[in-house]
Amino acid sequence: MIESPPIWMWIVGFLLVLGPLVTVHELGHYLVGRLFGVKADAFSVGFGKEIAGYTDRRGTRWKLCALPLGGYVQFAGDMNPASIPDAAALARIPSEQRNGNFHFAPLWQRTLIVAAGPVTNFLVAVVILAGFAMVYGQMVTPPVVDSVVESSAAAEAGIEVGDRIVAVDGAKTGSFEDVAKIVSIHPGERVLVEFERNDRRMEVPVTLDMLVETDNFGNKFRTGRLGVGASERVIRSVSVAESIPLAVRQTGEIMNMMVTGIGQIITGRRPLQELGGPVKIAKFSAEQLSLGWTSFIWFVAMISINLAFINLLPIPALDGGHLAFYVAEAVRRKPVDARSQEWAFRTGMAFVIALMLFVTINDFASLPVFGG
């Protein structure tokens, strides 16, 4: 087992992951807002007390704050960094002075401004994954069974050497790597495996094995196992033209794994201990950094997708909450009243803070020093 990285590497790794990702996320909001002529009062990396900053000629205060757990762009008309509209202040603004105010921008512009943050994080991940595909190629091992582990889920289900697995739980598998990805996120669950044998299409229900794997740093992960193997791994080169579609597909697959994992935690099929917060991000950042820049940059891509996904959840105070209100506004053909929005955003903010507190306590409890 590899020795855990020193605390200074936790701090450096955490800052190198979240700092740039938060900055590009907020830049997405800011740049699209600026494109539409919406004034930004503040652009902040971090929360709380300002450490350093300056005000540009447009009147935007650019600042670095003490708590490095996120950031925000506060547009003209916002009551606070969560972009809650200040209804009383907005009502006092004369019509001729409403130009440049976020909350008086057309609905489609507000939607694009809010969506730009998560979209930028997705783009960062796609660029990284595309780069990896071009440099290292793509594994495309045919999904043909070359070996079956004795007493495994596959053996119990009657899967044999030579069978070609074409789908798992309804998801098509074009390669052995596809099979592994799908199986890994369903530990101990019953899935339907579809395969071809002697030109005949067959399917069998399989209760996957559940393995608890431990990495070189002592982190434990629950993963599903079918119990089949391939003879050899095939790696093909990826061109520039192929890399972007491939990276987009990989991003979608990672998103699907996140949704599946959260669903399993909610339904009790995975323990709450698998939820991670800032402490775990710092821990994993340090571990990946200690393994080298290749591992670390890959981890950055995963966190970028995670950040985009979380922000798109329809929780008031997050980007997804704003977008949900805009959908309601589009359907109703008028905004949700300011008081309802304010209460929803306050409730959402309380939920986010409570969740952050929970995952932070959960993170500390999982550390070896606390018996995790």
Write the DSSP string, 100-146.
T-GGGS-HHHHHHHHHHHHHHHHHHHHHHHHHHHHHH-EE----B--
191 membership: H or E segment, kind and range: strand 190-197
CB atoms within 10 A of CB 254: 18
Distance CA 176, CA 181 (A): 9
Among 3, 26, 189, 242, the active-site one is 26
Distance of CA 350 to the CA centre of its chain: 21
> Which one, of 11, 1, 65, 4, lies nearest residue 366 by Cα?
4
User: What does the buried/exposed string (b/e) look like for 300-316 if buried means 16 or more CB atoms within 10 Å of the residue's CB?
Assistant: bbbbbbbbbbbbbeebb
150 carries an active-site annotation = no
Q: Which residues contact 235 (CB under 8 A, 6 or more apart)?
A: 136, 137, 138, 139, 140
DSSP reduced 3-state for 84 = coil
98 is written with which tokens? 């409403």
**Helix or strand or coil: residue 172?**
strand
List the catalytic residues.
26
